[in-house]
Amino acid sequence: MNLEKDTFTSAAERRRGMILLFVSLMALGMGQSLFFAIFPPVARDLGLSEIQVSAIFTLSAVLWVMMSPFWGRRSDVWGRKPVILLGLAGFGISTGGFGILLALGDKGILPLMSLYVLMILVRAIFGLFGSGTPSAAQAYIADRTSREERTSGVAAIGAAFGMGTILGPGFAAALAAFHLLAPFFALAIFALGGAIAIAMFLPERRRPAGSYKQGPRLKILDKRIRLFLFMGVAVSTTSAAIMQVAAFFVMDTMHLSGQETAQVVGVAMMSMAMATLFAQLVIIPRLHASVRSLLFWGILINTIGIALLLIPMNSGLFALSLTLQGLGSGLMRPAVAAGGSLAVTPEEQGAVAGLNSSTAAVGIIFVPVLIMPLYLIAPTGPFVVALVLSAVMLFTTRSPQLDMLEAKIDVDEVEEETLSRPSGHQ
């Protein structure tokens, strides 16, 4: 059998696959900015409180944390492509279903509490299945990059999500001219179309393991990855503490209407997303910096951005704060993911990608039980929590574990190891 012919795809197929993956992940980013920028004012009009709004995403976040490692391991066995398209399908169904529920609520067809419970359940579909896409996508990138390329490759995934968050508000504004809920349905169709395209055209380089007996399951407390998982949880928590109270904070401290709040928050989030995209598409590929350097500067910039929220606020300062946080996040997140990927073997890429992806939702779980009650006591309270976590992360960049990731290895040797790995049924 010609192993090289069966395993490698042409350059054109590889580019096409990366474009498909980029566009599909972009849809997830569009969904995030759509929900966080538009949903809070709509929810208040429906009569939902701040804590109820944040709790809508809690079950989804719990499922995301639980299922991401599962889907990561499944991608090691089934292959990356089936898990990616399953996640996109789940996201599309969840987003479209949420739009339908908002339409029913707007017309008063369902009682508020029944509508609220259904919102929680429909959003949970995203956590249950949508969690598979980032996990498998990161593992897909790891299969196709050397150690030296890993951070830039992972950054491309983040850039796809970041571009989606940039396009999301404009996408929503354009379609809202036809109907307020049109963006939800259009995005659902976009995601489902992406799943079909992935199924038909995404090339799979690494053979799935099938029933091949795998080694011991990668543990959360594995000393190779626990530092990066801690950082992932800390980044997730600081981000959630900012993002989920941002619209309420602007509305309450600047005394703005719902429409004015949506404009201020939309502009700030777009600026934040553009800064993230700049970090991931321009800074990281050009600098070729180490994981430690990206973590240090990313955390420092992010800390400065959070600190700005603790002084008297106006719309310009709010936008500057989120922009700095976006730049810092754009450096941190790829470094955290790449650090975990570089710390494990090729056979564990799906598993570590799943664990890393699960950390992204941990912060969302803390919001209704800690962040929102704290916000009701003191609007700047969540930002103090975020600032403390950032300071702790900055201290961890001194860890000797990061020294191990600086060592160079023979890229050809890694490729040969990947190709010679047993696959299929024995």
Q: Render pLDDT for 278-310 as a digit per residue (tens, 0 to 9).
A: 888 888 888 878 888 889 999 999 999 999 998
Do residues 128 and 90 lie in contact, with contact meaning Cβ atoms separated by under 8 Å? yes
Is residue 258 over pLDDT 70?
Answer: no
425 assigned to some structural domain: no
Cβ neighbours for 66, distance < 8 A, ≥ 6 positions apart: 358
Residue with tokens 């579909």: 125
Amino acid sitting at position 389: L
Distance CA 185, CA 92 (A): 9
Number of domains, the chain? 1
Distance CA 234, CA 239 (A): 8
Q: What CATH number has the domain bearing residue 126?
A: 1.20.1250.20
Is residue 212 over pLDDT 60?
Answer: no
212 assigned to some structural domain: no
Distance CA 423, CA 205 (A): 12
Is residue 89 over pLDDT 70?
Answer: yes
For 9-41, what is each residue's pLDDT tens digit? 556 666 777 778 888 888 887 877 777 666 777
Amino acid sitting at position 343: A
Instruction: State the SS3 of the chain.
Output: CCHHHHHCCCHHHHHHHHHHHHHHHHHHHHHHHHHHHHHHHHHHHHCCCHHHHHHHCHHHHHHHHHHHHHHHHHHHHHCHHHHHHHHHHHHHHHHHHHHHHHHHHHCCCCCHHHHHHHHHHHHHHHHHHHCHHHHHHHHHHHHCCCHHHHHHHHHHHHHHHHHHHHHHHHHHHHHHCCCCCHHHHHHHHHHHHHHHHHHHHCCCCCCCCCCCCCCCCCCCCCCCCHHHHHHHHHHHHHHHHHHHHHHHHHHHHCCCCHHHHHHHHHHHHHHHHHHHHHHHHHHHHHHCCCHHHHHHHHHHHHHHHHHHCCCCCCHHHHHHHHHHHHHHHHHHHHHHHHHHHHHCCHHHHHHHHHHHHHHHHHHHHHHHHHHHHHHHHCCCHHHHHHHHHHHHHHHHCCCHHHHHHHCCCCHHHHHHHHHHCCCCCC
HSE-CB of 38 using CA atoms within 13 angstroms: 23
For residues 406 and 72, the model is more confident at: 72
**What average pLDDT score do residues 174-202 get?**
82
Distance CA 91, CA 198 (A): 14
Comparing CA positions, the residue from 239, 387, 228, 235 lying closest to residue 307 is 387
Mean pLDDT for all residues in the chain:
78
What is residue 417's predicted lDDT score, i.e. its pLDDT? 35
**What average pLDDT score do residues 144-151 get?**
72
What is residue 143's predicted lDDT score, i.e. its pLDDT? 79
**What's the pTM?**
0.70
Distance CA 308, CA 390 (A): 14
What is residue 44's predicted lDDT score, i.e. its pLDDT? 76
Residue with tokens 């993956």: 21
Task: List the domain range (segments joined by +) for residue 18.
Answer: 10-207+221-406
287 assigned to some structural domain: yes
Radius of gyration of the chain (CA): 21
What is residue 214's predicted lDDT score, i.e. its pLDDT? 54
Amino acid sitting at position 235: V
For residues 351 and 34, the model is more confident at: 351
Distance CA 115, CA 347 (A): 44
130 assigned to some structural domain: yes
- What's the gap between Cα 145 and its chain centre? 20
Whole-Å CA distances, 411 to 44, 201, 290: 54, 27, 17
Distance CA 168, CA 158 (A): 15
- What's the gap between Cα 189 and its chain centre? 20
Distance CA 174, CA 186 (A): 11
For 58-69, what is each residue's pLDDT tens digit? 788 888 888 988
Tell me the pLDDT band of 121, cut-offs 50, 70 and 90.
very high
Distance CA 235, CA 333 (A): 8
**What average pLDDT score do residues 348-376 get?**
79
Is residue 173 over pLDDT 80?
Answer: no
Do residues 154 and 135 lie in contact, with contact meaning Cβ atoms separated by under 8 Å? no
In this structure, of 182-191, 246-255, 356-365, the range with the lowest mean pLDDT score is: 356-365
Distance CA 266, CA 270 (A): 6
In this structure, of 9-23, 193-207, 343-357, the range with the lowest mean pLDDT score is: 9-23
422 assigned to some structural domain: no
Whole-Å CA distances, 269 to 37, 149, 179, 192, 295: 8, 29, 22, 26, 22
What is residue 301's predicted lDDT score, i.e. its pLDDT? 95
